[in-house]
Amino acid sequence: MSALLEVEGLRMHFPVRRGLFRPPGLVRAVDGVDFRLAQGETLGLVGESGCGKTTVARCIVRLYDPTAGSILFQGVDLAALSRKGMLAVRPHLQMIFQDPYASLNPRMTVGSIVGEPLEIHGKLGRGELDEKVSHALELVGLDPRYKLRYPHEFSGGQRQRIGLARALVLDPELIVCDEPVSALDVSIQAQVINLLMDLQRRLGVAYLFIAHDLSVVRHISRRVAVMYLGRIVETAPSHRLYTEPLHPYTEALLSAVPIPDPDIESRRQRIVLTGDVPSPDQEIRGCPFRTRCPKAFDRCAEEAPVLKEHRPGHAAACFLHEK
Q: Domain with 117 in it: what CATH number? A: 3.40.50.300
195: left (phi over 0), alpha (psi -120 to 50) or beta: alpha
**Per the structure, how many domains does the chain have?**
1
Residue 107 forms part of a structural domain: yes
Neighbours of 234 (CB within 10 A): 26
Q: Tell me what pLDDT residue 69 has.
A: 94
Q: How far is CA 227 from CA 50, 109, 224, in A?
A: 10, 38, 10
Residue 58 forms part of a structural domain: yes
pLDDT at 17 over 90: no
Q: Tell me what pLDDT residue 23 has.
A: 63
Range in 71-80, 179-188, 285-294 the model is least confident about: 179-188
pLDDT at 261 over 80: no
Residue 19 forms part of a structural domain: yes
Stated pTM of the model? 0.90
Banded model confidence at residue 20, pLDDT cuts 50, 70, 90:
low
d(CA 239, CA 303): 30
pLDDT at 190 over 60: yes
Domain range for 99 is 3-238
Q: How far is CA 114 from CA 46, 108, 151, 288, in A?
A: 29, 10, 12, 42
Residue 14 forms part of a structural domain: yes
Q: Tell me what pLDDT residue 283 has.
A: 77
Residue 276 forms part of a structural domain: no
Top-ranked range on mean pLDDT: pick from 23-27, 110-114, 251-255, 289-293: 110-114
Banded model confidence at residue 121, pLDDT cuts 50, 70, 90:
confident
CA atoms within 13 A on the CB side of 257: 17
Residue 78 forms part of a structural domain: yes
What residues have CB less than 8 Å from 3, skipping those under 6 apart?
36, 37, 38, 72
d(CA 210, CA 216): 10
What residues have CB less than 8 Å from 115, skipping those under 6 apart?
129, 130, 132, 133, 169
pLDDT at 1 over 60: no
Q: Tell me what pLDDT residue 57 has.
A: 95
Q: How far is CA 222 from CA 20, 119, 168, 173, 315, in A?
A: 49, 34, 21, 17, 15
| Residue 104 dihedral angles phi and psi, to the nearest 5° | -115, 135
d(CA 307, CA 234): 7
What residues have CB less than 8 Å from 81, skipping those under 6 apart?
62, 89
Average pLDDT over the chain, rounded to an integer: 88
Residue 317 forms part of a structural domain: no
The residue type found at 309 is E
d(CA 178, CA 231): 17
